[in-house]
Structure formats: C-alpha cells, structure tokens
Amino acid sequence: MNLNILTDILATSSLASLIATQAIQYIKDNFKINNCLIFIVLEFIIGTLFSLSFTNLGLVNSLWCGFIVIIGAEALYKIFKGKLGLKSSNN
C-alpha cells in the first residue's frame, strides 16, 4: 500500500469537497435546482477534474478522488460551515 498516494488523494478530495459543496449551494440558491442525482454527478466531476488539474495523480487515482468527494462533501461542509466564507442556503 502506498500511503503517499492515499494521503494525496484524501488531501485533494478534501479541498475539492469544499469547492463542490459551495458550487452546489450556489446552484441551489441562484437556479433553484434541487436534484440529488445532478449534485452527485457534479461532485464527482469537480473532484475528478480538480485532481487531474492540480495534482500529478493519474486518471484512476483522480477517479477515486471524485468518488471520495461524493462521500465526504457534505460532512466536510458541515464541519466548515460558517468558516472560510462558506454559507448555506438554509439560513
């Protein structure tokens, strides 16, 4: 097991999760779309593209990053809500 790659995937997916969740909140607020399937696909795409763009991870590891974004985006958002300029549409 390569712990360096795992650490890179988790760190990248943490940042991508915050970006994906804020993008989803923006869509919810401004476009009044509330479709969970669209948001899951959007989280996966943002996580994968973020990983491919800003890291040297390969395609397979970037896909794992996208999958982890789906799992952890909402949990990370709840942790950082009110910090780092993140806002909620539920206010």
Q: What is the residue-wise DSSP string for 3-32?
A: HHHHHHHHHHHHHHHHHHHHHHHHHHHHH-
Query: What's the pLDDT at 42?
Result: 94
Query: What's the pLDDT at 45?
Result: 96
Spatial neighbors of 10 by CB under 8 A, at least 6 apart, are 68
Cβ pair 16, 65 in contact under 8 A = yes
pLDDT of 86 strictly over 60: no
**Mean pLDDT across 8-26:** 90
Report helix, strand and coil shares of the chain as percent, to nearest 5. 75, 0, 25
Query: What's the pLDDT at 51?
Result: 96
Spatial neighbors of 82 by CB under 8 A, at least 6 apart, are none
- Closest to 89 measured CA to CA, from 24, 2, 19: 24
Taking only the tens place, the pLDDT of each residue in 28-53 is 889 988 888 999 999 999 999 999 99
